[in-house]
Amino acid sequence: MLKISNFIKVILVLIAFQFGCTKLPQAPLEENVQIVEDLSTTDAIPHEWGNLVSTVISPDFPRRVQLWFQNEEGEIHLAFYEMDERRLAPKIVVFRRY
């Protein structure tokens, strides 16, 4: 009887949490904060991207390395290096500062 009572209490708490949770409103993104650009060449890293600040390998894409650069203006460039093809992916993501 004690196990059933505890089980019912747990179910009631889970139901209360279900109705107590509401989705937070999404803040609108400013225009041009994140831009996808095409690369003119995939065998070199442009000097304008600035310094390499981080590299990341995602477990979902183990053969692709994320290269994060930041230039003096504060813009962040995210490029992807394809290890199998030994070149940069043809598109990058640019995060602009305002």
**E strands, 1-98, where?**
34-38, 51-57, 64-70, 76-82, 87-88, 91-95
Q: Side chain identity at 95, as an amino acid letter? A: F
The structure's pTM equals 0.64
For residue 22, what pLDDT is reported? 67
pLDDT band at 39 (very low <50, low <70, confident <90, very high): confident
Query: Which is it for strands 76-82 and 87-88: parallel, antiparallel or unpaired?
Result: antiparallel
Q: Measured in whole angstroms, how far is the alpha carbon of residue 53 from the centre of its chain?
A: 15
pLDDT score recorded for residue 54: 95
